[in-house]
């Protein structure tokens, strides 16, 4: 997994081909009776399948707002949560799920703080880029294709590949990870994918 020092659960995959990604979302509230987000990420990494991980997380709920993309070699789910709710996002007709840093679903009683103004722009752009591929044909995207999507600069400074420049003045891309769960492998680009400081290959 890729994580900060001292945090035991974050973005990554396990030897069974179960992977998880995280989108931070800023919705007020915290419920200490529910599972902290980073422990939920660890739970996924200790799961034998995406079904098992999602079932466990739906039972306990998450203590705060976040989106977890949970996948294995066969299927993927999105889990969008607030401190009070947890809702499932299933793959679209192309077998794809997209999420940025704002709520996509209607959570009762919750108000999205609109934390990153470029989040809807990035959401639309990644969906636009993915329309070039269709998992029902031979043009299913490979790891290089996904890397190119993450390295997209369209609409700068509101681009998928983010810089510490422009009106936002914060939150540059710190790393990108592209997983191939059927082969239990991943490539990690430290820094922006257009100019990585280091490239790490994971093969389980």
Work out the average pLDDT over 5-28: 96
Cis peptide before 157 (omega within 30 of 0): yes
**What are the CA-CA distances from residue 54 to residues 67, 81, 112, 145, 192 (Å)?**
12, 12, 23, 27, 30
Rounded mean pLDDT of 11-27? 97
pLDDT of 116-131, one tens digit each? Answer: 888 999 999 999 999 8
Residue that is written with structure tokens 């976040």 in the block: 66
What average pLDDT does range 13-39 have in this prediction? 97
pTM of the model: 0.93
Residue pLDDT, tens place only, 131-185: 887 655 566 788 999 999 999 999 988 899 988 765 555 578 999 999 999 999 9
Q: Encode pLDDT of 184-195 as tens digits.
A: 999 999 999 999
Distance CA 146, CA 186 (A): 12
Structure tokens at 76: 């993927």
Strand pairing partners for 35? Answer: 62
Query: How many of the other CB atoms lie within 10 Å of CB of 135?
Result: 13
Q: What CATH code is assigned to 12-203? A: 3.60.60.10
- Rounded Cα distance between 182 and 184, Å, is 6
Report domain extents, the chain. Answer: 12-203
Check if the beta carbon of residue 23 is closer than 8 Å to that of residue 66: yes
């Amino acid at each position: 997994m890729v994580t900060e020092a001292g945090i035991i659960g974050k973005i990554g995959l396990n030897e069974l081909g179960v992977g998880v990604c995280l989108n931070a979302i800023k919705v007020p509230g915290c419920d200490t009776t529910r599972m902290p987000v980073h422990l939920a990420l660890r739970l996924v990494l200790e799961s034998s399948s995406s079904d098992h991980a999602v079932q466990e997380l739906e039972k306990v709920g998450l203590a705060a707002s976040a989106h977890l993309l949970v996948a294995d070699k066969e299927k993927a789910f999105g889990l969008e949560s607030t401190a009070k709710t947890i809702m499932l996002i299933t793959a679209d007709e192309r077998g794809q799920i997209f999420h940025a840093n704002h709520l996509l679903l209607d959570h009762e009683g919750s108000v999205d703080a609109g934390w990153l103004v470029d989040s809807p722009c990035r959401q639309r752009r990644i969906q636009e880029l993915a329309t070039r591929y269709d998992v029902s044909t031979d043009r299913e995207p490979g790891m290089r294709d996904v890397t190119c999507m993450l390295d997209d600069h369209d609409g700068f400074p509101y681009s998928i590949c983010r810089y510490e420049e422009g009106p936002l003045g914060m939150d540059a891309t710190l790393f990108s990870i592209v997983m191939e769960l059927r082969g239990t492998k991943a490539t990690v680009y430290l820094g922006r994918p257009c100019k990585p400081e280091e490239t790490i290959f994971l093969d389980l």
